[in-house]
Chain A
Amino acid sequence: MEHLSYSTRTAFHSLMKEKWINLLSSLTVAASLLVSAMAIITIFNLENFTRTLPERFTMVVYLQDSVSPEDTQKLIGQLKNKDYVSGTKYISRDQALNEMKRTLKDVSNVLEGLDENPLSSSIELKLKKESVTAPAVKKISEELKKMPSVGDVYYEAKIAETVYLLKTSIENMSIIILCIISFVVLFVISSTVKILLYRRKTEIEIIKLLGATGGFIRAPFLIEGGVIGFFGGIFASIGATVFYYSLTTSFSAFMPILKTMVLPVEIVVLLPIAGLVMGVIGSLISVGRLRL
């Protein structure tokens, strides 16, 4: 405890003494964290958006014309039991025709002269979210086509592909961005601590001669790195909040979709913590190399 109190005082003394270099480091860390915060906010909102896409996805199973009502009920029952199906809706041939008439009411002459209903009855399937991926949907469609009574299966392939593509590219992008930013933050903090170590070379030598252990010498630098990172995180949180409000107010005039953006509150809290942790790790990288 005594040791910690001394290390903290020494760290804060040094932080104040070298305030400009430390402020500059904090701002550099803030800039890096802000980039990652902006990326996370974008990813979060894109994820939100893609999450709603599966809900809009429908797969239509067209029945063969010869299917009896009993077989239709049997098929509906079988489909309901599939673990990837979240809902079914039966549309009879008459309902389909009425729907078509409603849709084409402005060009109703198109349907004139039809002696009989050319449409098939169908079952609309809603799939579970996790099943709305391009490969899964393709597999399901092939499986359904093989079922008795099924004439054909139709689905909007693009929605499934878009969901799949967006999700995978968002995940990959977020991993790449977070790796780059983590590297930048660690580099900035370890470089700053290296400069501080160099400036305090003589001081460290003297403390070593007095019998200080490695931990005693390193602790203030770890605290300094942590504080630089923490303040970097706070600046980044402020920046992220300003970024969010700018997007949802000023910029939404040009792109109304921005109004629907959400600021994940966790990020405002997590940025200073991430800065603190990275600051300590960055310092560890530098002081770990210190020959004691």
Chain B
Amino acid sequence: MISFQNATKYYENKPVLKNIDLSVSKGEMVFLTGPTGAGKSTLLKLLYASELPDEGEVTVGDFNIGRLRPAEIPLLRRSIGVVFQDFKLLENLTVYDNIALALRVRGRKEKDIKGLVLEILKNVHLRHKSDNYPLTLSGGEQQRVVIARAMVSEPSVLLADEPTGNLDPDTSKHVARLFYEANIHGTTILIATHNREMYKNTGKRVVRLENGVLLGEEIG
């Protein structure tokens, strides 16, 4: 489902990812760990074509990221749900509309959107905040809105960049449970995280990245 073959990415002539070889099978859930600046976010950005590989190949499903035509980029992104580290919520839209936007760009009907958004809001315990604007929410609440937005369209691939970074332990557990449930339903998931608690004793693959190099993997 996800594959890196000898992928390298440079920023200002310095390699931030070096010869990455990694594959994630359909329906698999993999954790990506490593210190700040290891290249985790860049690796995820390659998957949703926010960055393009300078060398090697990166594929997501049938999409070869380095050879995407401009018209294919939206199609790739619609097949992926992304939990951004910096949230990327639209401040002028309510919580409801931020989540609904992920469905609207996919051309879903308004009557379907309402039910799906309210259901996901219930799952992330934010049903009562649907009319709030993002800036009136706490960091943890905003993070849950982002997770809800990434999941609401039931994408085949879910990417998350530090999804529990702003959450207290209880909420972290709750969020982790949401990812596991999505994975049980067949979603392929790649999560970049510092949070050991998230992958400890899960039996899932944990890949370690440092200075842009994959150091190896273990079972969490």
Residues of A within 8 A of B (CB): 2-3, 5-6, 13, 17, 203, 205-213, 216, 292
Contacts and interface: CB of A to CB of B under 8 A. Distances in A.
Contact of B104 (A2, A13, A17, A203): A2
Nearest to B89: A206
A2 B76 CA distance: 21
A92 to B, nearest CB: 85
Interface of B: 48, 50, 70-71, 73-78, 80, 82, 84, 88-90, 92, 101-102, 104-110, 149
A215 to B, nearest CB: 10
B92 A207 contact: no
Contacts of B78: 211
B110 A209 contact: no
B50 A203 contact: no
Contacts of B110: 2, 5
A2 B108 contact: yes
27 contacts: A2-B110, A5-B110, A17-B92, A203-B92, A205-B88, A206-B88, A206-B89, A206-B90, A207-B90, A207-B101, A207-B105, A208-B73, A208-B74, A209-B48, A209-B77, A209-B82, A210-B77, A210-B101, A211-B74, A211-B75, A211-B102, A211-B105, A212-B74, A212-B105, A213-B71, A213-B74, A213-B105
B153 to A, nearest CB: 9
Given A206-B89, A210-B102, 7 more contacts: A6-B104, A205-B88, A206-B88, A207-B105, A210-B149, A211-B105, A216-B105
Contacts of B76: 211
Contact of B107 (A3, A205, A209): A3
Most buried by B among A6, A211, A216: A211
A211 B77 contact: yes
A3 B50 CA distance: 24
B143 to A, nearest CB: 16
Report which residue of B77, B82, B105 has the largest number of chain A beta carbons within 10 angstroms of its beta carbon.
Answer: B105
B70 A292 contact: yes
A44 B48 CA distance: 59
Nearest to B76: A211
Contacts of B101: 207, 210
A213 B74 CA distance: 6
Nearest to B105: A212
A235 to B, nearest CB: 27
Contacts of A210: 77, 101-102, 105, 149
Contacts of A208: 73-74, 77
Sorted nearest first, the 5 A-B pairs with minimum C-beta distance are: A211-B77, A211-B78, A212-B105, A206-B88, A213-B74
Contact of A209 (B70, B75, B88, B104): B88
